[in-house]
Amino acid sequence: MRVLGIETSCDETAVAVVEDGHKVLSNVLSSQHEIHGRFGGVVPELASRAHLERLNPLVEDALAEAGTRWSEIEGVAVTRGPGLAGALLVGLAGAKAVALALDLPLIAVNHLEGHIYANFLEHGPPDPPYVVLLVSGGHTMLVHMPEEHRYEILGQTVDDAAGEAFDKVARFLGLGYPGGPAVDLLARRGNPEAVRFPRAMAGSGDFDFSLSGLKTAVIRHVKAERAAGREPSVEDLAASFQEAVVDVQVQKTVAAAEATGVGTVLMGGGVVANSRLRERMALEAEARGLRLLSPSPELCTDNAAMIAAAGHFRLVRGGRSSFDVSVEPGLPLG
């Protein structure tokens, strides 16, 4: 069964064709980083306009690249939230048009569920239960999934999301937008122990996170150093900041698996592209005998293959959406 996936929740216009929920036949994407970069963050109005211009050609590209005719598509999956209202609208309207014209089932997908189901693309459906670390530009949470499609939020950030912290620190350091990849790259040449930044809520005994204090600590450190006539190494700052984020995430994820008695850990979201998070989590999972799954880096950041996969696993259970479905910018998980 081939499902067409459409994702326009933020600043990537993405379309994919996925077979049987795991075989990626095509996964095309047009990123708007060049549009939003000079503003240091996503400008919603510009995002919608770019989605509108790019969606139709990308749909054609995705089908061509997949070597798939319209008659071979059996469902249309699209992100309905969370995300930017105007951006989501473009994808949802496009998906409805296709589904209506071709009499195909429409499956409106939660973007966060997409990030989780990105894991199913390469590994196939793992046996539940799992604990999921979901870390993106807008979300940072730990989720217990006793079975597929059931989500129990164990904890989440009380302020900034992890990706947001990467982006804000990167902006302060003059590294451009989005900041995560730039920090990741620089950190490889830095010393993660150069500056001991705070590990907020590390000992809080719950599964919540706090990241805004860390961002402030980085800014304060740089200002203090400069005031003392020293220019801190940006590589060391990147590595030390990243280590503080990763430390808490690894510790809390492992604790969540232990508290719920779950043997499988999944990771999802753009921040899971981070090389240090992947490395540290792999070591910790191995030491504790946990099975760890994560999508390959290019499937961690926003894409439509993950939406097609999530849609597929809804569709096979009879889940389809009515044509009245609307976008939901604040859609929660579950």
5 is an interface residue for ligand KG4 by CB under 6 A: no
What letter does residue 39 receive in the DSSP assignment? G
Find where tokens 């150093």 sit: 225
Considering the complex, state which of residue 5 and residue 137 has its C-beta at the smaller distance from ligand KG4.
137
How many chain residues interact with ligand KG4 (CB under 6 A)? 19
* Least distance CB 37 / ligand KG4 (angstroms): 12
Q: Does 113 help bind ligand KG4 (rule: CB under 6 A)?
A: no
Contacting residue, 138, 190, 295, 311, with ligand KG4 by CB under 6 A? 138
Which of these segments, 152-160, 220-228, 264-272, 326-334, binds ligand KG4 (CB under 6 A)?
264-272
Number of other CB atoms surrounding residue 21 within 10 Å: 21
Q: Cα-flanking dihedrals φ and ψ of residue 316, to 5°?
A: -65, -15
- Per-residue CA distances from 80 to 75, 93, 157, 307 (Å): 15, 10, 23, 10
**Could you tell me the smallest distance in angstroms from the CB atom of residue 333 to Zn ion?**
12
Q: How far is CA 286 from CA 9, 167, 301, in A?
A: 35, 30, 25
CB of 120 to ligand KG4, least distance (A): 16
Binding of residue 136 to ligand KG4 (CB under 6 A): yes
Q: What is the DSSP string of 215-275?
A: HHHHHHHHHHHHHTT----HHHHHHHHHHHHHHHHHHHHHHHHHHHT--EEEEESGGGG-H
Q: Which does 179 bind (CB under 5 to 8 A by kind): Zn ion, ligand KG4, none?
A: ligand KG4
Residue 268 C-beta: closest distance to Zn ion, Å: 9
Interface with Zn ion (CB under 5 A): 136, 302
Q: Which pair of tokens denotes residue 79?
A: 């992100």
Q: Identify which range of 99-107, 177-185, 310-318, 321-329 contacts ligand KG4 by CB under 6 A.
A: 177-185
Q: Residue 171's Cα: distance from chain center in Å?
A: 20
Residue 236 touching ligand KG4 (CB under 6 A): no
Six token digits for residue 154: 């164990």
Check binding of 76 to ligand KG4 (CB under 6 A). Answer: no
Residues engaged in binding ligand KG4 (CB under 6 A): 10, 136-138, 163, 166-167, 178-181, 184, 269-271, 273-274, 301-302
